[in-house]
Structure 1
Amino acid sequence: MSVHHLNCGSLRPVGGFGGKMAPTRVVCHVLVVERADGLLLVDTGFGTADIAEPTRLGRPFVAGMRPKLDVEESAISQLKALGYAASDVRDIALTHMDLDHAGGIGDFPQAQVHVDVVELDAARNPKLSERSRYRKVQWSHGPEFVTHQSGGDDWFGFSGVKALGDDVLLIPLRGHSRGHSGVAVRDGDRWLLHAGDSYFFHGEVETPARTAPGLTGFQTLMAADNRARKENQERLRSLVADHPEVVLFSAHDEVEFSRLS
């Protein structure tokens, strides 16, 4: 099995989230996993329809996050450059359904989209405070959602893990959104854990932790459950310290992306 790391959306947030250690440019880290029965994507970044029509993302997001919106960064364009077709993507596993993670699912209409059942309900029935993060137009094509409930196996101290085959796991990491999850992919004798938006900056999961007030404030503002977010971030910090066989990375840290790609 081979794993490819793609940046499917460059962002240049106004003010770089604030603070000297906060990133001035962030990525949308997507995994492409070659499996015996086809490809699996972990997240999708922005889709070609988002790039062609940025109003789909909402004016506040475009103004504040300043996405590059380059069609060559879309997952479908990069897969074609690798010699694949859209039909080769059989499964998509989403860490959550924020607009910068689920935008590309429309480019792979034949794929099954795996997502936590709580997250799909939040996206379909958002609270007032959640309406800006979910864009229903991104899944208006009627994808085949496969929902997964918490409860199942344990994995390095994380409970409620669901297997998506022998080599991919959906791991509850609540906080950033109601049904936020991590996706773990077996890569030889190690695991790659895509932690989504559980944290934004690699220093947050180092010991001791390093962060910036502006970035912390942004994460607090966006969190559906900030207490759960902080607790899971601490658990991820312990995972990094205790288990070198697990390679952890978040969705938006450019340093982590550069190391792995």
Structure 2
Amino acid sequence: MRVHHVVAGHVRPRVGVAAVCHVLVVEHPEGLVLVDAGFGTADLVDPTRLGPVGRLLRPDPDPSTSALAAVLALGRSAEDVRHVVLTHLDFDHAGGLSDFPHAVVHTTAEEWAAATVATHAPERLRYRPIQWATSDDVRRYDGEGDEWRHGLRGHEVLPGITLLPLRGHTRGHAVVAVEGEDGVVVHAGDAAFDASSYGARDPRTGEPLGKAPALRAMELAACRQPWRLRPNHQVLRRLAADPEITVVTAHDDRVLPAAT
């Protein structure tokens, strides 16, 4: 399977650091598969859909920075996207669902419950149900799943694509492993904001990345269970040390490959 790394949104908060929304577009035998969906075109046209936190993050309204635009740039259509596998349902990861209403959505049962039956104010702020209102087929995966690699367990939602629960950023957060043509790509979602947290290297030079304090501050501020941050970074470090695995995060553009 060929894996394309694309940007599906930018945030430019008044306080903090600008960041990308890094999404995978996978050429799968069953059709295109997105891993995360970034902001949708409707979000960029009408940012009030994102609520008060969206106003703080100030997403760039440029419609060329969306998963839909990336799919079209590959010469494909919105209808070619058959599945969307989500690390979690925060509005900067699930917004693109509205551009692919026919796609099957895959998420953990715990995350779906957090997003749809949220009882805590922080969760009500981070999730925007309008983004998945047109998604008719949402598949939820309960529990830890089957044994995968490096002590992790998960659910193979499609052949070669595995949803691996890794709670912390949200209570149902997961990472997604894709068996690509050049090895396994693990999209860590928001399990780490600063890729240096797990020892990532610059894909262009091979040099270790330096710390990004502003990204780490954003990570801590947005984390639902901060006591899980360090253990999750250790899991990602273990994965990144495997020469067959490439770990990327959602918001650190330093791990975007030079060409996709």
TM over 0.5: yes
2:188 matched residue in structure 1: 195
- CA 66–33 in structure 1, closer or farther in 2 if over 3 Å, else same: same
SS of the aligned residue for 2:256 comes to helix
Structure 1 residue 14 displacement after superposition: 2.9
Instruction: Count residues in correspondence.
Output: 252
SS of equivalent residue, structure 1 residue 132:
helix
Match of 1:9 in 2: 9
**1:91, distance to aligned residue in structure 2 (A):** 0.6
Partner of 1:219: 219
- Report what 2:204 is aligned to: none
What is residue 142 of structure 2 aligned with on the other side?
A: 149
Does the CA contact (< 8 Å) of 1:25 and 1:254 recur in 2?
no
Q: How does 1:86-165 map to 2 (within 5 A)?
A: 86-126=78-118, 127-165=120-158
Deviations 1:103-141 (A, max 9, x none): 010111111000000000000012212111101111122
Distance 1:158 1:65, change over 3 A: farther
1:63-82 residue pairs with structure 2 within 5 A? 64-82=56-74
Q: Does 1:38 align with 2:31?
A: yes
AA of the residue aligned to 2:23 = V
Residue aligned with 2:162, SS: strand
- Give the whole-Å Cα distance in 2 for the aligned partners of 1:160 and 1:239: 13
Q: How does 1:227-242 map to 2 (within 5 A)?
A: 227-241=227-241
The worse-fitting range, judged by mean Cα deviation, of 162-171 and 97-106 is 162-171
TM-score by length of 2: 0.90
**Cα shift at 1:258:** 4.2
> Residues 153 and 190 of structure 1: is their aligned pair in 2 closer, same or farther, counting only changes over 3 Å?
same
Aligned with residue 55 of structure 1, among 43, 48, 52: 48
- Residue deviations 1:142-189 (CA, integer Å, cap 9, x gap): 431001123332222243311122210101111000100000001125
Deviation of 1:12 after TM superposition, in Å, equals 2.0
| 1:174–1:229 Cα contact (<8 Å) kept | no
Measured after TM superposition, the shift of residue 212 of structure 1 is: 5.2
Deviation at 1:210?
Answer: 5.7
226-235 or 199-208, larger mean C-alpha shift: 199-208
1-side partners of 2:226 and 2:144: how far apart?
Answer: 22
- Does structure 1 conserve the Cα–Cα contact (< 8 Å) formed by 2:194 and 2:212? no
Determine helix, strand or coil for the equivalent of 2:228.
helix
Q: Percent identity?
A: 41
Seen in structure 2, the aligned counterparts of structure 1 residues 55 and 175 have a Cα distance that, compared at 3 Å, is same
Whether the 8 Å contact between 1:152 and 1:161 is mirrored in structure 2 is: yes
Structure 2: tracts of 5 or more residues without a match: 201-207
- In structure 2, what is the equivalent of residue 181 of structure 1? 174
Could you tell me which residue of structure 2 aligns to residue 20 of structure 1? none
Cα pair distance change 1:33/1:49, threshold 3 Å = same
Q: TM-score, normalised by structure 1?
A: 0.89
What is the CA-CA distance between 1:245 and the residue it aligns to?
Answer: 0.9
SS of residue in 2 equivalent to 1:14: coil
Confirm or deny: 8 A CA contact 2:2 2:181 kept in the other structure.
no
Offset, 1:217:
3.7
Q: Equivalents in 1 of 2:63, 2:211: separation in Å?
A: 32
Cα pair 1:8 1:29 within 8 Å, conserved: yes
